[in-house]
Amino acid sequence: MNAFDPTDAATSGAPAVAGQGPSGPPAAPGCDPVGDPLAALAQGGVIAVVTGVEGPHYRAPGAFMAFPAGGGAVGQLSSGCIEADLALHAAEVAASGRMRRLRYGQGSPFVDLALPCGGGLDVALVPVPDPAPVAAALARRAARRPALLRLSEDGLALDDTGTAAGFALRLVPPVQCLTAGAGVEALVFAALAAAAGHPVRLATPDPATARAAAARGVPVTMLAPGATGLGADPDPWTAVVLFFHDHDREPPLLARALRSPAFYVGAQGSLRTHRARVAALAALGVPDDAIARLRGPIGLIPSARDPQVLAVSVLAEILAMAPRE
């Protein structure tokens, strides 16, 4: 398998987090498996990117980790099977300034480094002596804009045209959750999404909900009567979800959200409540095709009434619908 297959790969640019089983090998010293590998390259270093997968493996092409110029490692590409070996090769790549392609598992010359899941894994180690492309990608991520980095024999470069040669590493903004509501359901969902690493903002008219959210580190916007904004503008990687028991507050918020590029718009409530909500939106003049985007009842688990179960159910539905690039 050619490690530089030109097929594009998409990644959120979020940390390359690997699940470490209780019987798995410990992470290499100085390794932060749940850190942000893109930010770790802000001063240069070596990027390790999965460029090909054969057979079973839980990392897709485009997953990456970093070996920063200051030492250590950020992210993981396996459950600890190859990271120590990657660190050795990364040190040599940094010293030589030349890219290196590696193969692990099936067809690999490294017979002592078996992948328990089977299959084969192609990894490219690319030096990043000039962090300017990384800085540009980080700036775009902060502005919630996608970026395209190209890996080639010449190193790492930002590709604004989408036509450059080399393996394409597509970096898209992480899923953002704009939430509105009052009470425990809104609070638990916002806290769960934030704990899972997603940008979150909770808009609420309720001071008690606002205080509880702020205590959990969730940014809060206070909702005035008749407000239509949620404290941030939805983009194509945004989910808007409402948790109100006072459904009269919903139509202005939903009308604006449904006209936005948000990929998910939903609101808590029964099927009867959803039908009443649809009628209220039609009365506001929201077009039928926009109303058809509204999710309700929300969540993958039918009739979830426990706030924790509902939060997991809704977040799972959001992530199942999230755009991949």
pLDDT at 86 over 90: yes
CB atoms within 10 A of CB 293: 16
pLDDT tens digits along 129-156: 999 999 999 999 999 999 999 998 888 9
> Parallel, antiparallel, or unpaired: how do β-strands 167-171 and 200-204 relate?
unpaired
Q: Round to whole Å and give the CA distance between 163 and 150.
A: 10
- The pTM of this model reads 0.83
Estimate to the nearest angstrom the gap between the alpha carbon of 313 and the chain centroid. 18
DSSP type of residue 248: G
Gyration radius from the chain CA atoms: 22
- Cα dihedral: 140, 142, 146, 149 (round 10): 60
Q: Show contacts of 281-287: CB within 8 Å, 24+ apart.
A: 281/251, 281/254, 281/255, 284/251, 284/252, 284/255, 286/254, 286/255, 286/258, 286/259
Given CATH 3.40.50.720, say whether it is the number of domain 176-321. yes
DSSP type of residue 35: S
Outline which parts of the chain fall under CATH 3.40.50.720: 176-321
pLDDT tens digits along 248-290: 999 999 999 999 999 999 999 999 999 999 999 999 999 999 9
Q: Which residue has the tokens 């404290």?
A: 231
- What's the pLDDT band for 112 if we cut at 50, 70, 90? low
160-174, 184-198, 248-262: which has the minimum mean pLDDT? 160-174
Q: Mean pLDDT of all residues in the chain?
A: 88
DSSP type of residue 197: T
CA dihedral (37, 197, 317, 312) positive or negative: positive
- pLDDT score for 16: 32
pLDDT at 6 over 90: no
SS3 241: strand
Please list, residue by residue across 165-199, b when 16 or more beta carbons sit within 10 angstroms of its beta carbon and e when fewer do.
ebbbbbbbbbbbbbbbbbbbbbbbbbbbbbeeebb
- What's the pLDDT band for 111 if we cut at 50, 70, 90? low
